[in-house]
Every structure is written in C-alpha cells, then in structure tokens.
Amino acid sequence: MSAPRSGPPAAEAGPRQVDRFDPATVEPRWIEAWQNAGVGHADPDSDLPPYSIAIPPPNVTGALHMGHALNNTIQDVLVRSHRMAGYETLWICGTDHAGIATQAVVEKALAAEGISRQELGREAFVRRVWEWKEEYGGRIIGQLKRLGCTLDYGRERFTMDEGYVRAVLEVFVSLHEKGYIYRDRYLVNWDPGLRSAISDLEVEDREVTDTLVRIAYPLTDGSGELVVATVRPETMLGDTAVAVGPGDDRYRHLIGRTVTLPLVGREIPVIADEHVDPQFGTGALKVTPAHDPNDFEIARRHDLPRVGVIGEDGRMTADAGERYAGLTPAEAAERVVEDLGAQGLLRGSEPYTHTVPFSHRSGARVEPLVSLQWFCDMTRLAAPAIAAVEEGRVRFTPAKWGDVYLDWMREIRPWCISRQLWWGHQIPVWYRGEESYVGREAPEGEGWERDPDVLDTWFSSALWPFATLGWPERTPELERFYPTRVLSTARDIIFLWVARMVMMGYEFMGQEPFADVAIHSVVQAPDGRRMSKSLGTGIDPMDEIERHGADALRFGLLMMSSTQDVRFSQDRIDQGRQLVTKLWNAVRLVIERGGRARAEPAGAATLADRWIASRVADAIERSGAHLARYELAPLADLTYHAVFDDYCDWYLELLKAGEATPEMAGAALEQLLALAHPLMPFVTEECWSRLPGAGGLLAEHPPPTAPGPRDEAAEAELARVQEEVNALRGWRAQRGISPRRRIVAEDPHPLTGALANVAPAGDASGLESRVLLRTRSMSVGLEGEEVDAGGEIERLRGELATAEGELARAERKLADEGFVERAPAHLVDAEREKAARYAAERETLAARIAALG
C-alpha cells in the first residue's frame, strides 16, 4: 500500500542522511595520531623480540608510483602485524641518492635555465643537486606517510648522509685492501649520452635493423683479397686482424699471411680463432679489439694491439685518421662506405636485424670501448652469498627466484663500479704523478688529486641493511636489528640490488642481511603495457588515495598482488572502498545495538554467537598462515569475506533478528578490526576509536584472538540455516513473493525462521498437499495459496529431471569398480549417500506429480 509520493519538491528528500566515512578527512588525523604516539618508533633497548625491515629506498628524484605503493603496503602489513603481535618492530626509512637519475633531473632543470653542468663547475653543480635533494627529497616520504606506512621516520637515512659516506669509504678501502677492487683498462659499456661507463646490468638489448656491408681486404702480397662482413664499417679503421675459423678450408692457406687494411694502409695478420662461425657472413671476421667484446677477447688470445677509433665523447678519434676524426660513428660509417666504394672494395650489402646494446639510463646506443675504470671482482664475494641461498639461510618467495639468483651468481663477472658523474660517492683514491693512494681521507702532503669518478649507485645501496643501522659503528640498533627479517621487492632488482646486499652482508657483517626475499608482482597499466610516465600509462597512487582513500588503494593493491605481473584493476580499488564502507556501517550498527569493545560475553552464547566466534577463529588462523608465506592477496580476500559474508551478511542479520548478543557482536567486531587493521589501518583505527569501551590505538592493540573456540557443530548447524535461507530467497525471487510475506514450513530451523520470515506450519500434514519448496531439511508452503497445478507440475518435472540426472551421475560413479575400490572411502560413501538421497527425492517428486496430475 504505497501511495505515490507527492507534494512540494522540498518533501522529496533524497536518501536519508547517513553518517558516511570520509577518508580525506579521517585519514590524515590518524597519520598524526600514530606519529604522536610513536607508533613507528623502534627502541633498541626493548625486551621484545626484534622484527626489522629495511625499505627499498626510493630515489630522491621520485614520486610514489604504483610499484612503490604496492611494495610499501606489503611491508606495512608485515610491520603492523608484527608490531601488534608483540615484536619490537623497526621499519628502516630512507631515500637513495640515485646517482645517474638525480644528476640527469638536475641537469635537465639547469638546461631549462640555459646552463650546463660544465659551465657551473663540479662543486657548484653538486651544491645544486643537494639543494634539489633538500627540496624534493622529502616529498616521497610524505607520500609514504599518506599511504599509512609506519616507518621509523625519526631514523630517516640517506645514501649520502654523513654516516653513510663513512660506511661507503670503509667498504671501498676494505675491498681494495683485499684486492677485490682494482683499476684496469678494459672494454666497458660506454654510454655516449651520459659520457660514463655503465655496468652490464644497465644495458638493455634492442632489436635494430642495420646494413651488413661486405668489404674486400686485399692480401698484402697482391695475390687476392679476403672479404669480411660488418654492420659497423667505421670500426674497420680500428681493425688489427682478420680472423677465420681454424677448420675453414676456404681460408686455411691464408692463416699467418697479412692483408692491408683499406683506407688505413695498416698491414694486419690473418689469424685462426674458434670464435669465428664459418657459416656466418663470409666466414672471415674483422677484429676490432677496442670496440667489440668478442674482438677484445680474441685480441687477448692472440696478443693483438688495440686501436681505439671512437672516443669517450662518442666521436671518431685521431687514431681513426684525419679524414674521419671528429665525425660521429654514423657519419664516419657513411664516409667509410663511400670511400671504399670509390676504391672498388665493396662486395655488396644487405639489411641485417640483430640485437644491439642500449643504455637503460640515457637510451643511447652503447659504445663498447676500452677505458680506464675501477672494477670489483665478485667471485670471492659471491661464494657465501651462493651458499646462503643453496642452504636456505636466505629464502626467496616464490622459490623459483632463488634459482634465477643462483644462475646469475654462479656466472658472476667483474662489476664496473666507477661512473664518470659528479653526483655520488667520489672514489676515495688520490693521485700524484705516478703515485696513487687509497684511503678514508686525503693523504698528507701537497699535490694530491682525487679521482674524479663516483661510485655506481648500487655500490652504496648494497650496504643499506647495515649502513642504515650505523655500521661501521657497532650501534645498539645494529646489534639489535641486524639481520633484518625480509626484503620485499619486485623481481627487477634481484641482481642489481638484492644479490649485492647479500654479498656485502656476508662480507662485512658475516651474516645475511635478511632471511626472506619476498618477490611481488610488477603492476602494469590496465592495458598490459608498462606503467610509465613517458608512455602516458602511469596511474598516480596519490590520485587514487585522493579519490578513494589510502585504505581502498592498499586493499586493492593487495588483492591484485600476486607472484606474477598483474594489470592494474580499478575494480579492486573499488572493492577496497566497499569494504571500508562496510566496516564503517557495521560499527554503526553494533554501537547502536549496545556492542562494546573488550566485552565479556555475559550470558550463554547463542548459536549465532558460537558460530561467529568459530568463523573469526578460522579467519585468524588462516590469515596467520598466509602472512607467514607472504601471500597477501589471499589474506586480503579472506579478510574481505570474513567481514562481508560472515559478519555482516549473516551474523549482523542474526543480531538484528535478536539471535545474537551485543557482547559477542562487539567482541567479534573488535577482533575483525584487529585482523583488518594491518591492511586498512585508517578505517579500522577510526572504527575502533568510536567503539564504546575501546581505549588506546588499534595500532597498538594485541593481535586478533578468537572470541571463542572453533565450533564444528555450530558451523554445521549454521550451514543448514544458510542452505534453507538461500533456498527460500531464491524461491521467493523466482516466484515474485515479497520477503515480507510470511510463509510456512515444516520444521524450519529457528534461525531460518528469523532470517527468512518463515513460520512453522501448524499442521504439517496439511502442508504436505501444498508443498512448494523442499530443501534437504524442510518443506515449504504458502499459506492461503492454492497451488496452480499446471505450473506446479511443470516445476516439479524440472526438479525431477535434475534429481534423475544427479542420480544417474552418482550411480555411474558407483558402477565404476575402479572408483569404488581405489577412491578414498569417504568419497565413495558420499557418493552412496547422494545416490540414496536422489533416489528418495525422485520417488517423492514422482508421487507429488502424480497427486497433482
């Protein structure tokens, strides 16, 4: 009887005003409250067992990106859980100076002012970078706070702060004394864009189509020519040999003779080397030791000279000859081909697609060239780090990443640690004439010049887990919190960073830097591409926080997280937001019904109470198991369903129906808030603060404990209720019967009655003639309704068909001797029970159809 609402527009009020949860106003309050309470602060003198994590330090250039948001959410979940569980928890906070990246950003800013770093000079430039760091370095820390991360902000470190510089110097000097660090003229990956050497790990291969040119090298004695193939014709100017396969009959007679290098006139030998593939090109390989890694090795084997024709400026050197010096390699290539053509020495060309190294940093094509650099030999450092993973003292999750790590470590090569940059740890080596000095401080005496190069950023990052704790001093923090417990990261820096931390940890602390390495997903753009600013595919986590709140973002990211790459899913963030709202509203209801925190269940617990206690116990148990295995998505999922399904959908409905007590409602809610808190700290903290009887911060609450024991009987009984209620709801929906219309049933469970508006039939036999729904445990009828025989028969026939299908299926299985003999007994029994039940149902249905028809 709903009269159409009419009247003045004012009366048409929208939905009733509700007290909504607003993350934008609530969340910042708690950041401050946690900070004031010292929630992230770690005390090395505490008696509690330690639990520490070192944050992968974000670059000072940076803003929080989605990968940071996920990684730091994971770490905060771990840290908050352990803090609640009674560990003295330290989450080490800090940022990385990120040599190349930061220098590039500042250079770019200078360029906008029309200044180059060279014009500014080194000292002034470095000052500018420090200013930049002061201005922007704090931004990402602020963003971590906004995400809810409970780092120990009071102990913030920077990879170039005073103490850290001491640690780096100490390590360099020590490794040099041990003979691991040495200086050598060696072929390195030269980045002409950066004008610096870069390490193997900073090189990426890209596919490029070049032209393979065939060039004739005349034999010196004039008896013919040898044709070589190359994609880099300009490098011929630096050739010092031609190599052929040792077993290649075409060229056997030429080995030991010489050819005259065109355009240059140098007489160079024809040599035999295993490296040459007779099948490729002409089977003759021009050898340019100064600009090709293979040729470099060939030259070593054959003791050939090296002629560098490309310089560190990326241009042809004087050794390339007057006609080419100063040109870019591309220009030189063109001119070389032209000149060779003029001399009639070209023997054809073809397009050739191959992979070519590019700088990961500047994007420039890497120019391999021989250069004087500092290297660190890794073989001795690697040994204990390999053993650690083999023996399980450092465990990767998922374990396959341990194999990837080991494969790389076992083939480890020297690490080029010097960079021709200005921003970074300057190499602690001084020169005076032929003398050199390696030390923590400048040597005594006049005329010493410090090595201008700086160390690879990862050299300092490798010390992070112990340098941040005060090493080389034996500080209380170091004693207490090293080794850390877990390193959380994506897989892309396993070699660059993780492996090097393990090596340095063993070398300088004699202990692994962390017990676990938890590798999480890389978050891709929704279309599967990389999230990147330049591609325009980036999604800013701060935008998501602004729109949906940090809790929703955290939950969504955890749901997405996995062991493989995942596409960013807005829907998961929405799911998080819904859980936030649900929790909020649940608390409102519980408060309204007199629920309290820390409530002692007064009277006898009801069935519903026993059931929710058991469900909460189950959720807590499972969450602990997931947490221990770094399974964050299942953890988030079970939290969602514990709150949504068990507590809100079922338990609170029972509470409203008077079948549960406010005491248990409060007690269970308290534990669910504690359970969800590490995932969604803000809304849970806010809810906690509103719950009568609650005091103190949820962040400092003990870990969730079940408000009652596991209760199989209660769970089984409620499963029956759920089955009945679901059947009734489905039936009502199908028949268009309002939930408000009361129906009768033969022997419904009392809770079914309460939830589904069902009353026991006064006269069960009377009901039998108008049974409209049958579940495993009850028959349902509608009072006052005459059964429409036709429609009812049709419906019953449908049910009959289903029952017969199920029966046939069960019988088929039971007829299978293999199944009956070999399957576990409980499965066979279950199948027998099923067969019996459906057989009975078939009879009942057939009888009812007969009665109606």
- Distance (Å, rounded) from C-alpha 358 to C-alpha 368? 11
Task: Rank residues 186 and 644 by Cβ distance to RNA and give the closer one.
Answer: 644
Element (H, E) at 551: helix 550-560
The interface mask with RNA, positions 141-180, x = CB under 7 A, is ----------------------------------------
Shortest separation between residue 632's beta carbon and RNA, angstroms = 11
- Distance (Å, rounded) from C-alpha 501 to C-alpha 740? 66
Task: Rank residues 22 and 135 by Cβ distance to RNA and give the closer one.
Answer: 22
Task: Rank residues 163 and 538 by Cβ distance to RNA and give the closer one.
Answer: 538
Among 4, 15, 179, 344, binds RNA (CB under 7 A): 15
Radius of gyration of the chain from Cα atoms? 37
- Distance (Å, rounded) from C-alpha 330 to C-alpha 192? 13
Measured CA to CA in angstroms, residue 683 lies from 194, 544, 552, 586, 690 at distances of 47, 16, 10, 12, 11
Q: Which has the closest alpha carbon to 450: 194, 202, 187, 172?
A: 172
Residues 330-349 that bind RNA (CB under 7 A): none
Residues 463-492 that bind RNA (CB under 7 A): 492
**Residue whose entry in the numeric block shows the structure tokens 């050299």:** 459
- Sign, CA dihedral 24-30-35-40, equals negative
Among 7, 10, 20, 249, binds RNA (CB under 7 A): 20
CB 612 within 8 A of CB 668: yes
**Residue whose entry in the numeric block shows the structure tokens 């500014």:** 120
Structure tokens at 433: 């004439």
Q: Does 182 bind RNA (CB under 7 A)?
A: no
DSSP 316: B
Q: Does 814 bind RNA (CB under 7 A)?
A: no
Residues 650-709 that bind RNA (CB under 7 A): 652-653, 656
Residues 6+ apart with CB under 8 A from 690: 587, 591
Among 4, 11, 16, 763, binds RNA (CB under 7 A): 16
Residues 491-520 that bind RNA (CB under 7 A): 492, 495
Among 365, 547, 588, 710, binds RNA (CB under 7 A): 588
Element (H, E) at 411: none
Shortest separation between residue 125's beta carbon and RNA, angstroms = 31
Among 361, 500, 577, 774, binds RNA (CB under 7 A): 577
The interface mask with RNA, positions 822-851, x = CB under 7 A, is xxx--x------x-----------------
Task: Rank residues 476 and 805 by Cβ distance to RNA and give the closer one.
Answer: 805
- Distance (Å, rounded) from C-alpha 749 to C-alpha 607? 12
Shortest separation between residue 263's beta carbon and RNA, angstroms = 17
DSSP 471: T
Task: Rank residues 471 and 495 by Cβ distance to RNA and give the closer one.
Answer: 495
Among 38, 142, 392, 528, binds RNA (CB under 7 A): 528
CB 736 within 8 A of CB 726: no
Query: Reduced to 3 states, what is the DSSP secondary structure of residue 652?
Result: helix
Task: Rank residues 89 and 575 by Cβ distance to RNA and give the closer one.
Answer: 575
Return phi, psi of residue 114, to 5°: 80, 20
Among 280, 598, 836, 851, binds RNA (CB under 7 A): 280
Measured CA to CA in angstroms, residue 517 lies from 51, 418, 502, 760 at distances of 15, 28, 11, 59
CB 75 within 8 A of CB 149: yes
Task: Rank residues 119 and 350 by Cβ distance to RNA and give the closer one.
Answer: 350
Detail the DSSP E strand segments found in 40-159.
Answer: 50-54, 88-92, 94-95, 157-158
Task: Rank residues 21 and 471 by Cβ distance to RNA and give the closer one.
Answer: 21
Among 275, 432, 533, 690, binds RNA (CB under 7 A): 275
Q: Which stretch binds RNA (CB under 7 A): 37-45, 179-187, 282-290, 305-313?
A: 282-290
Shortest separation between residue 258's beta carbon and RNA, angstroms = 19
Among 220, 511, 581, 844, binds RNA (CB under 7 A): 581
DSSP 22: -
Among 391, 592, 712, 786, binds RNA (CB under 7 A): 592
Q: Which stretch binds RNA (CB under 7 A): 80-88, 219-227, 462-470, 558-566?
A: 558-566
Residues 6+ apart with CB under 8 A from 207: 353, 354, 355, 356
Residues 739-778 that bind RNA (CB under 7 A): 739-740
Q: Which stretch binds RNA (CB under 7 A): 85-93, 219-227, 324-332, 722-730?
A: 722-730
Among 560, 616, 638, 780, binds RNA (CB under 7 A): 560
Binding residues for RNA, total number by CB under 7 A: 93
- Pinpoint the alpha helices (H) of 424-549: 457-461, 464-467, 476-481, 500-509, 541-548
Residues 213-252 that bind RNA (CB under 7 A): 229-232
Residues 43-82 that bind RNA (CB under 7 A): none
Shortest separation between residue 612's beta carbon and RNA, angstroms = 13
Query: Reduced to 3 states, what is the DSSP secondary structure of residue 490?
Result: strand
Task: Rank residues 55 and 665 by Cβ distance to RNA and give the closer one.
Answer: 665
Q: Which stretch binds RNA (CB under 7 A): 99-107, 172-180, 370-378, 630-638?
A: 630-638
**Residue whose entry in the numeric block shows the structure tokens 């990443």:** 401
Among 35, 220, 537, 585, binds RNA (CB under 7 A): 585
Among 35, 569, 689, 844, binds RNA (CB under 7 A): 569
Q: Does 574 bind RNA (CB under 7 A)?
A: yes
Shortest separation between residue 16's beta carbon and RNA, angstroms = 6
End-to-end CA distance of the chain: 37
Q: Does 201 bind RNA (CB under 7 A)?
A: yes
The order of strands in the sheet holding 429-432 is 435-438, 429-432, 449-450
The interface mask with RNA, positions 400-439, x = CB under 7 A, is x--xx--xx--x----------------------------
Shortest separation between residue 728's beta carbon and RNA, angstroms = 9
- Distance (Å, rounded) from C-alpha 712 to C-alpha 601? 20
Task: Rank residues 265 and 736 by Cβ distance to RNA and give the closer one.
Answer: 736
- Distance (Å, rounded) from C-alpha 627 to C-alpha 635? 7
- How many residues appear in the chain? 853
CB 653 within 8 A of CB 755: yes
- Distance (Å, rounded) from C-alpha 309 to C-alpha 236? 9
**Residue whose entry in the numeric block shows the structure tokens 């490798």:** 462
Task: Rank residues 157 and 582 by Cβ distance to RNA and give the closer one.
Answer: 582
Among 119, 184, 200, 449, binds RNA (CB under 7 A): 200
Q: Does 283 bind RNA (CB under 7 A)?
A: yes
